Chains A and B, each alone.
Chain A
Amino acid sequence: MDSVKVVEGSEAVALAVKACRPHVISAYPISPQTHIVESLARMVADGDINAEYVRVESEFSAASVVAGAAAAGSRSYTASSSQGLLLMTEVLYASAGMRLPFVMTGVNRSISAPINIQVDHQDSMSLRDAGLIQFYVESVQEAYDMHLAAFKIAEDPDIMLPVMVCMDGWVLTHSYERVQFVDQKAVDDFLPPFAPEHYLDPATPKTWGSYAESDAMMEFKYAIHKAMTEGKPRIESILDELSALTGRDNSGLIEAYRTDGAEIILVALGSVTGTVKDAVDELRDAGKNVGLLKIRCYRPFPHEEIWQAVKNASVVAVIDASFSMGSEGSIGLDLKAKLFGRPQAPMVVDFVAGLGGREINGGTIHRLVTRAEEIQRSGELLCEAEWVDLDATIVS
């Protein structure tokens, strides 16, 4: 029987990981991920999870342990945040290149310097080139649900890539929500044991991590991209299976919320999408034709699904909590690249907001929509992102 409990977000994630029966968990603490690894440690100490829990000395090793474990044929899990995610960067690229499937939680937190432990998306967005599949979740419930699917997606024989489930630090990890848990037997039916075709085995010795010259390197890298892009239907079908498992709507690489007939469509990901949905409802009630495009799967980038949802809008207003210094916001860059050249594509305004945990509330969304309406009327060409709510006494 499915059960319902009020739990802290981190605990919900730990329970999802537990339900997936990992063999190996590696853990290095960093705020705001720490409660996840502490929950898992308690479960291991009580014998509630039968996993090898490795207390590593750095995030670099945390990622390396799950890579080694995956290569040896075991389902593996780790988690990190911010500085820790960046420290894992090299290992994550190498793991994607070696097609090692493991799951990790990317608890979103800003990147130094200055040091700040509040939420923004700079950390996981900095890794979007690496070859990991990336999901962003709106709520604690969705965090729980997505981790169940993450292992199945990672281990799919046609995908075989690491999967990162990104969830906003503190906002989701440390808030309490009513969560509906899936019955263990149902999870076991949904997610059978990891059974890779290739793994480190003396009976069939293989060489992993070769040196590839320029006559093979491009092909290896292309294979990752291909696995992701051609994996989209498979990801979608696993998300459909997840919906059937949970009884909730977990389907779709994106969620189009009240985008029908919308002239202004906000694009966002992570927990802010909950706030945006509320603001959209208010604005709709006030007679404005606005909607939200929530991105659930960020890599592979769902450009076709985005296009179908926004093609009839006048303005797309991206809410970016990460930025490519010297250029534009991360989502803005990806989205504009994929919309460019499409017939009568909407104008795109890239709002940079929420860095270092600066609050984005309903009022903020209302103001962004007002600005988007201005842009819609003026038809101005927008070459720069717009940084929201900058304190002019610090910088102008």
Chain B
Amino acid sequence: MTVKKKTRKESLFVSGHRACHGCGMALGVRHILEATGNDVIVVSPTGCLETFSSPYGFSPWRVPWIHHVFENAPAVATGVAAALRAQGRDHTRVIAIGGDGGTFDIGFGALSGMLERGDDVLYICVDNGAYMNTGGQRSAATPTWAATTTAPAGRQSMGKAEMKKDLPEIVAAHGIPYVATASIAYLGDLKKKVKKAMSYHGPRYIQIDTPCPSVWSFASHLTLEIGRLGINCGLVPLFEKENGKITAVRKIKHKISVIDYLNKQKRYRHLFDSEGGQEEIEKVQTLADINIEKYGLLAV
């Protein structure tokens, strides 16, 4: 059976879904599917994407899509890929698209298993740094000192004290062919990375920074701007790692201080309002500087 090719005009993720105004994830998914084309099966865990895209009776997905439970998207994707192989359907590709909750935390074990087995799945994590679907609880992907509802700022707390789990490096340590970080701030770059990932077989991982206007708390028309600020201060490094080696890095042309990123989001407001906040901002700056050093982010 031939698969009808979609023209450029027909989106594979149409409008009418229930994402928040300015949702970075919704924008990202549409462009991901533009890059993959329609000969794919998409698996998503429970999360924002699943909830806003699949109220019973409605769906924006113009590709086959399955949501099973929260922590098993990588394993369900493995199962789909195994079925396709068994049926000889070798042109159809399997993609998992899930949030940081289902990827960094509860789905971490299943993700590692999928990577270790070498399953032919492209796993894309749309990372907004918390359990946003349920109002913004802390995840391992929450950046240091961001406030969340389960690690709020208070008289005895500055929000999340721990580092953001370095999932791209953990994933890369499984020895897989392609790992990349991307952002909805640079959609052309994102699509190039998706296309390159699709040219490989085996497990592949792309982590996309998808700012969340609702919970990071910024005006919903500023999503791309916030994304750019995160990249340009060094907190969101964009790179590609192929077979264990960094092969490309997006250089920062005009480096900014982390302050210019943090001060635009209410989830960091407490750093500016409280005593001792300045010290914590400097810690965040250090984290950014470590990235800049590690990945060589400054344009020479």
Interface residues of B (CB under 8 A from A): 1-4, 38-41, 43, 50-51, 53-57, 59, 61-69, 71-72, 74-80, 82-87, 92, 109-110, 112-113, 116-117, 119
A64, A72, A206: the one contacting B84 at CB < 8 Å is A72
Q: Are the CB atoms of B72 and A52 closer together than 8 Å?
A: no
Distance between Cα atoms of A60 and B68 in the complex (Å):
12
* Interface hub of B39, B56, B57, B92 (most chain A Cβ within 10 A): B56
Report B-chain residues with C-beta under 8 Å of the C-beta of A211.
50-51, 54-56
**Residues of A contacting B87 in the complex (Cβ-Cβ under 8 angstroms):** 23, 72-74
CB-based contact A209/B68 at 8 Å? yes
Selected A-B contacts with CB under 8 Å, 28 pairs: A23-B86, A26-B82, A54-B119, A56-B75, A57-B110, A61-B113, A64-B69, A64-B72, A64-B76, A65-B78, A67-B68, A67-B72, A71-B80, A72-B83, A74-B87, A76-B83, A91-B68, A91-B69, A200-B66, A202-B40, A202-B63, A205-B64, A206-B64, A207-B59, A209-B68, A210-B67, A211-B50, A211-B56
Say if the beta carbon of A213 comes within 8 Å of chain B.
yes
Contact check, A200 vs B64: say whether CB atoms are below 8 A apart: yes
Is A51's beta carbon under 8 Å from chain B?
yes
Q: Are B68 and A98 in contact (CB under 8 A)?
A: yes
Chain B facing A: main interface SS:
mixed
Residue interface mask A41-72, B partner, CB < 8 A = 1? 00000000001101111101100111111111
A210-B59, A211-B56 given as contacts; is B66 within 8 A of A54 (CB)?
no
Instruction: List 8 tightest A-B contacts by C-beta distance, closest first.
Output: A68-B79, A57-B113, A209-B67, A64-B75, A23-B86, A72-B83, A74-B83, A61-B75
Nearest residue, chain B, Cβ from A72: B83
CA distance A54 to B53 in the complex (A): 30
| Bound Cα distance from A298 to B118, whole angstroms | 39
Please indicate the chain B residues that have their CB under 8 angstroms from the CB of A64 in the complex. Answer: 68-69, 72, 75-76, 78-79, 110
Residues of B within 8 A of A206 (CB): 64-65
Interface mask (A144-182 → B, CB under 8 Å = 1, otherwise 0):
000000000000000000000000000000000000000
**Cβ-based interface call for A333 (8 A):** no
Known: A56-B113, A64-B110, A213-B55. A94 touches B84 (CB 8 A): no
CA distance A52 to B85 in the complex (A): 8
A24 within 8 A of B: yes
| Apart from A60-B109, A65-B76, 4 more pairs, CB < 8 Å | A23-B86, A26-B79, A64-B75, A209-B67
Partner of A61 from B39, B67, B72 at Cβ < 8 Å: B72
Whether the pair A203, B1 counts as a contact (CB closer than 8 A) is: yes
Whether A1 sits at the interface, judged by CB under 8 Å, is no
Is the CB–CB distance between B79 and A66 below 8 Å? yes
Given contacts A68-B68, A202-B3, A202-B40, contact A74 B86 (CB under 8 A): yes
* CB <8 Å contact, B79 and A205: no
